Amino acid sequence: MTGVGVGIIGTGFMGKAHALAYRTAASLFPLRARPVLEMVADVDHAAAERAHRSFGFRRLTKDWRELVADPAVHIVCITTPTALHYEMALAAIAAGKHVHCEKPLAESEAKAGAMVQAAEAASIRTQVGFNYLKNPLLGLAREMIAGGELGEITGFRGSHAEDYMADPEAPFTWRLDPAGAGVLADLGSHIIGLARFLLGPITAVIADLETVVKERPVVRGSAERRAVTVDDIARLTVRFARGCGGTIEASWVATGRTMQLGFEISGTKGALAFTQERLNELLFHRAGGPASRRGFLRIEAGPEHPPYGFFCPAPGHQLGFNDLKTIEAADFLQMIEGGPAKGPDFREGWEIQKVVETAVRSSRVRAWLSVP
Amino acid sequence: MTGVGVGIIGTGFMGKAHALAYRTAASLFPLRARPVLEMVADVDHAAAERAHRSFGFRRLTKDWRELVADPAVHIVCITTPTALHYEMALAAIAAGKHVHCEKPLAESEAKAGAMVQAAEAASIRTQVGFNYLKNPLLGLAREMIAGGELGEITGFRGSHAEDYMADPEAPFTWRLDPAGAGVLADLGSHIIGLARFLLGPITAVIADLETVVKERPVVRGSAERRAVTVDDIARLTVRFARGCGGTIEASWVATGRTMQLGFEISGTKGALAFTQERLNELLFHRAGGPASRRGFLRIEAGPEHPPYGFFCPAPGHQLGFNDLKTIEAADFLQMIEGGPAKGPDFREGWEIQKVVETAVRSSRVRAWLSVP
Amino acid sequence: MTGVGVGIIGTGFMGKAHALAYRTAASLFPLRARPVLEMVADVDHAAAERAHRSFGFRRLTKDWRELVADPAVHIVCITTPTALHYEMALAAIAAGKHVHCEKPLAESEAKAGAMVQAAEAASIRTQVGFNYLKNPLLGLAREMIAGGELGEITGFRGSHAEDYMADPEAPFTWRLDPAGAGVLADLGSHIIGLARFLLGPITAVIADLETVVKERPVVRGSAERRAVTVDDIARLTVRFARGCGGTIEASWVATGRTMQLGFEISGTKGALAFTQERLNELLFHRAGGPASRRGFLRIEAGPEHPPYGFFCPAPGHQLGFNDLKTIEAADFLQMIEGGPAKGPDFREGWEIQKVVETAVRSSRVRAWLSVP
Amino acid sequence: MTGVGVGIIGTGFMGKAHALAYRTAASLFPLRARPVLEMVADVDHAAAERAHRSFGFRRLTKDWRELVADPAVHIVCITTPTALHYEMALAAIAAGKHVHCEKPLAESEAKAGAMVQAAEAASIRTQVGFNYLKNPLLGLAREMIAGGELGEITGFRGSHAEDYMADPEAPFTWRLDPAGAGVLADLGSHIIGLARFLLGPITAVIADLETVVKERPVVRGSAERRAVTVDDIARLTVRFARGCGGTIEASWVATGRTMQLGFEISGTKGALAFTQERLNELLFHRAGGPASRRGFLRIEAGPEHPPYGFFCPAPGHQLGFNDLKTIEAADFLQMIEGGPAKGPDFREGWEIQKVVETAVRSSRVRAWLSVP
């Protein structure tokens, strides 16, 4: 068994999550090649040192280009702010590395498209960090839909609402960069990705985006303000290629909500409801049974929902957020070893970005637009 | 169509609930004889006048004996404090009236037994006001158990917890009368009745009763205190005649709970869970299906759960507390007309009282006792 | 105390609900003038006779015009299919009666406007049967919003989804009448009304309406089909006059849902969430407290939420659907006696209808439209 | 920074959980000495090799005595069936190792007591694997109780119910060993430990234990049966040293339940409710506020509940089962480094075992017994 060198750029929330995920995936999943935390890169040297020490990376660097170029690094994880994804990914692809990039893939669909082209031309493998899709119960939901348990789908209602920007004094960050979308890129991409994961392509959209907090302090506590131009709330009505319609909402000013990533799907034979607030539960209604026993079934995650069983042999014990990231890493490692392509890859990240960007334009022109 | 004269003694919470229930039952249920609010009795004349006016009683009186003796009164509803039930019920029975008495039936099982004997000797019909049993979903639960959907029952866990006596400054009332039990008689009788309704006779009990608030003001705000000797919390472990065991708890100092009358029942083939806090929902688990679709089904009340349909033709619209009382009245009226005996009658009220009293003695002697 | 004569046209689901509501309101609420069930009208004579007998109406008729003209009838309740509301209401207004009309007010906003003009010219009182607005917890929600407990409102997400038309074999009914809207008029009017009740006027809308079941049997089981042209699902994005945006969805093909009338409202200081599926619960989040005690509070209906206390003096006992209708009747009776105008009146019904109709047009032209 | 050698005996469910936990703790928590997976022992050599490979143990052995004696091993984790704990722990203690033993500590309180004596005499550190106690929200609950937020505690109702032995064809295992208790030792020890964690010592108990499935196949599918003598369900009523009472139930035949480890605690000023089925939520009621805003608050786990923040900087993202085990390992490592003793240690495991054993005897003699 030889090792697969993992290099991680960035040591924040997602950088740590990637490090932990690759390490844990190596232990819990049946992989042929053992992943090795080969190198970590952070412009903040102290941060890189902390990560190096905590996660047992073999080496560290301040320069992500060094990481990308290193021959012992086979997978490059990009966990930096969105605006940096493009340059880093292209460099990693050029160096022949597999790339695991955080979401959203890029701040524009044009850049995302270029990343896809580069990746596909280079025949390297890609993964985008839409970790919530890795929930075993969402895998079940997708399988139920694909298998016809819900009949013909008639509607989708989805949202991703949190409140981390609800405080008007929350400072300006890179997430508010006028070059991209705001919440629609940050959280909206999750629920758009989930809609596509379950129901397939979105073909048209009408959107209403608004900026609730018009200016924010440049840093917390500062009197100096910077104007915010991106969306705090995005409301989309969409049409799917399969023929049904739906609504999608994203908000980061949804006071009191910390993880309201959820949906309700109706079909002619059944329905599903889910919220990431209770990520180990999936509600399922099956039409047509005896009316006196009618209702929603609360399916609880267990080893029958792969790959839950790699984490715990007993049902009801529950997965957490970091476990979803571990599944993401394991799926990518397995694909690199020749296993099935579970995605979402760069192409899917691009498709999601197209919906985001079409929605932004739709909101500006106040009209329905086709997703290219 | 001739009328059935209803006489109601008492005009408090339950007096009003009876008046409303009989009036509404007459409209919603297919009865042969229309109930008529014939007379209301209250020692407080102004209260009797208010009830007379509000509910359209034909006549009123300060003297319950007059009501009991009145030839136009066919059903006597007793909604006074427990200590008065015995005398009133015996008088009503002696006068040949059907008796609908609030719970608990009496402050002692001896008196309850005498009431049963009198009623059965006189061949009149009786009903005790355990209104929660009238919930259509509990009828479904009983039917599912009787029909074997849960297999052999292996355990019961029930409670009725509220907090209306949690405040130490809540004053002394007739409910604290040392002659009876405290919360075990008041709320415990509901959950004991429910346990019996679903699973049949309780044969043995060990109980631990305690008084949490040792003395209370004689009236709200008074400095004068009266010692409390009855139970604020009662914890019972029981054995059922059918062979299984269970626990039953009653508390009126359960801070924050206003209607936690609920249970969980396990069987070899299934399980049920319920709380009156969400009275229109019954949770049902069926063992043995595919593990990946396993969970509890949330059955929602609808017209398939008789007699819900008399209240509303559409599912999910929900019944409320007063509707349960209406079903109780309707069941009694239908029985008087020759319909099925749905109970709970005086005999059932007596059986419940036996469990209460055995539990009180068990707690004193600190030992398991058989229920006589 | 003199009586107020109530005449009810129609004896179906809503006809019965009105009869019960007026009778119960008379008993539970402190009214000066006692309502009397004076007359019932139904073209189906047997149905009229059944209602007459069940609810104790003084008189019955096959001809609604007779009812409208009767001098002992002071309030006319219109519970017939929508297409009949206009003619009946105008006749009742012309006869000087107060009118309590079921929702939606009319099948077109033009007719609704004419009804408003007639009513206001005649100085009679009107009420439209949006009974869900009468939930005491929604009164609390409105008060909290008006009182600033949620701060500035930043978003609304509402829906009314049921599944009574989900079965493709459910037959064609008057609700599918091409002259009106479909689910948007039937269920959508409830959630539009609720949005307005809580947040005030809606000024602009973009909508996407679709017909899921394209043709239905003319009667159940028939091979003969009739094309459906109205909406089975309606998805609206809206702007409120107060400055915030929101989404509104209506569906009667939402498999598994029987009463998903609900919303989530975000504000800068708090948030509310509600679903009629648990009508006795309101979720409230207050921003700004200690983070370790953060979450949504599940407020349970009780006597502190008027007029709950008229139904039951104890919290947690729960109201049901028919109780909401009783509150509606009581509010109307109290207004007629000179009490506050709680609405929704014809003018409000008209405003709701304007939103419905603007949405229908918006969906046709695929563009944002201002609500006139 | 030097390493702390971890040796793990056993490679099943818990063996893997320990390996993962120590590895992850090393990365997420600020430890001075880095834990190193030094050695794994399993009588099944192939299993040991798999664990060695998967988790990156430095060495492996078939002989646990070799592991215990190894000078590079500083912490010995015992994850074998209960009957082996005693011998292994004593050997490890004799070798001067810190011992992290799975629960229950031993199959008898006598043995548990001997283990405590040996450990305390040797001044080594101990930990028992009651991982659920490590939930940050239970830490909050304990702190709220200790800080008086609930006032004087008036009652406890706890249970741990699962269904992994509900199937009568589930075969005989070491958990059914007649030398110990059955479910009361296996699951009951968790809820007893939780009761003690929150409320302190239990002083008296009356218990009713029963064996629901009287005999089981020796291996799955076998016709050969072995009699079961231990409890499938245990129902306890208890008294706490602090003065309040409570009930505790354990069942492994609770059809449909996979992780119903929960409790409800009432106090004079507040109440808490929790179930491990939703381990990231704690329900809290505070008495005394305005009645119209009364209810239970659903507190959601977040970084304000240490050590949640080491796993994720954002609230609502949720911990899973394996994270609790990581906290357990981290707490033990930190204590070994001189940090606070968070327990539960062997002495606590012994105390829990005393309650278990007293309950077993109580059930036999059908009487209240003092916990020694």
| Mean pLDDT in order along chain B per 10 residues (372 residues) | 86 97 95 93 96 94 98 98 96 98 95 98 97 98 98 98 96 88 96 98 98 96 95 98 98 98 98 98 96 96 98 96 98 96 97 98 97 96
Burial class (CB in 10 A: 0-12, 13-18, 19+), A121: exposed
Which of A150, A235, A294 is closest, CB to CB, to C247? A235
CATH number at residue D40: 3.40.50.720
Which residues of chain D lie closer than 8 angstroms to B206, CB-CB? Answer: 206, 208, 237, 366
Chosen domain end from A98, A131, A164: A131
Q: Quickly count: other Cβ atoms within 10 Å of residue C149's Cβ.
A: 17
CA atoms within 13 A on the CB side of C79: 22
Across the interface, do A320 and D300 touch by the CB < 8 Å criterion?
A: no
- How far apart, in whole angstroms, are the C-alpha atoms of residue A85 and residue A361? 22
Which residues of chain C lie closer than 8 angstroms to B165, CB-CB? Answer: none
How many CB pairs below 8 Å do chains C and D form together? Answer: 52
Chosen domain end from A106, A131, A156: A131
Cα–chain-centroid distance for residue C189? 7
Q: Which residues of B touch D (CB under 8 A)?
A: 150, 154-155, 157, 159, 161, 163, 166, 168, 206, 208, 210, 212, 232-233, 235, 237, 239, 245-247, 249, 251, 253-257, 264, 266-271, 285, 287, 294-296, 366-368
pLDDT of residue B1: 39
Q: If you average pLDDT over residues C18-40, what whole number do you get? A: 94
Across the interface, do C299 and D298 touch by the CB < 8 Å criterion?
A: no
Which residues of chain D lie closer than 8 angstroms to B296, CB-CB? Answer: 256
**A173 shares a domain with A80:** no
| Residue A371 within a domain | no
Which of A259, A312, A313 is closest, CB to CB, to D316? A259
**C349 shares a domain with C286:** yes
Find, among B264, B210, B145, the residue nearest to D249 by Cα: B264
| Residue D357 within a domain | yes
| Residue B371 within a domain | no
User: Which is it for strands D215-217 and D126-128: parallel, antiparallel or unpaired?
Assistant: unpaired
Q: Which residues of D touch A (CB under 8 A)?
A: 1, 13, 16-17, 19-20, 23-24, 26-28, 34, 53-56, 162, 164, 257-259, 277-279, 300, 302, 311-323
**C306 shares a domain with C167:** yes
**B333 shares a domain with B204:** yes
**C311 shares a domain with C211:** yes
**D209 shares a domain with D123:** no
| Residue A243 within a domain | yes
Confidence band, pLDDT 50/70/90 cuts, at residue D2: low
User: Which is it for strands D34-41 and D3-9: parallel, antiparallel or unpaired?
Assistant: parallel
Q: Chain B: residue nearest D210 by CA?
A: B245
- If one counts the domains in chain B, the total is 2
Find, among D246, D269, D107, D77, the residue nearest to D181 by Cα: D107
Percent of chain D as helix, strand, coil, to the nearest 5: 40, 25, 35
Pair B171, B226: CB distance under 8 Å: no
Q: If you average pLDDT over residues D321-348, what whole number do you get? A: 97
A365 contact partners, CB below 8 Å, separation of at least 6:
none
pLDDT of residue C34: 87
Question: Among positive and negative, which fits the CA dihedral B104, B109, B115, B121?
Answer: positive
Interface test with C, best of D297, D299, D305 (most C CBs within 10 A): D297
The per-residue pLDDT for range C277-322, each reduced to its tens digit, is 999 999 999 999 899 999 999 999 999 999 999 999 999 999 999 9
| Residue C370 within a domain | no
Across the interface, do A13 and D322 touch by the CB < 8 Å criterion?
A: no
Q: If you average pLDDT over residues A53-71, what whole number do you get? A: 96
**What is the radius of gyration, based on Cα positions, of chain D?**
21
| Residue C258 within a domain | yes
Which residues of chain A lie closer than 8 angstroms to D190, CB-CB? Answer: none
Across the interface, do D206 and B210 touch by the CB < 8 Å criterion?
A: no
pLDDT of residue A118: 98
**Chains near A, with 3+ CB pairs < 8 A?**
B, C, D
| Residue C371 within a domain | no
- How far apart, in whole angstroms, are the C-alpha atoms of residue A211 and residue A305? 40
pLDDT of residue D366: 97
**D108 shares a domain with D142:** no
Q: Which residues of D touch B (CB under 8 A)?
A: 150, 154-155, 157, 159, 161, 163, 166, 168, 206, 208, 210, 212, 232-233, 235, 237, 239, 245-247, 249, 251, 253-257, 264, 266-271, 285, 287, 294-296, 366-368
pTM for the predicted model, two decimal places: 0.97
Across the interface, do D266 and B247 touch by the CB < 8 Å criterion?
A: no
pLDDT of residue C178: 86
Chosen domain end from A102, A131, A160: A131
Give the SS3 label for residue A372.
coil
Which residues of chain C lie closer than 8 angstroms to A212, CB-CB? Answer: 154
pLDDT of residue A1: 39
Confidence band, pLDDT 50/70/90 cuts, at residue C1: very low
Nearest-Cα distance to chain C for B94, in Å, is: 32
A86 contact partners, CB below 8 Å, separation of at least 6:
A106, A107, A111, A114, A115
Domain that holds residue D342: 134-365
**D244 shares a domain with D163:** yes
**C162 shares a domain with C214:** yes
Q: Has residue D1 got a pLDDT over 70?
A: no
Across the interface, do B233 and D155 touch by the CB < 8 Å criterion?
A: yes
Q: Has residue D33 got a pLDDT over 90?
A: no
| Residue B372 within a domain | no
**D225 shares a domain with D115:** no
**C13 shares a domain with C62:** yes
pLDDT of residue A167: 94
CATH number at residue C222: 3.30.360.10
Nearest-Cα distance to chain B for C322, in Å, is: 8
Confidence band, pLDDT 50/70/90 cuts, at residue C2: low
**A163 shares a domain with A295:** yes
pLDDT of residue C203: 98
Which residues of chain A lie closer than 8 angstroms to B140, CB-CB? Answer: 292
Pair D182, D232: CB distance under 8 Å: yes
Which of C150, C155, C271 is closest, CB to CB, to A233? C155
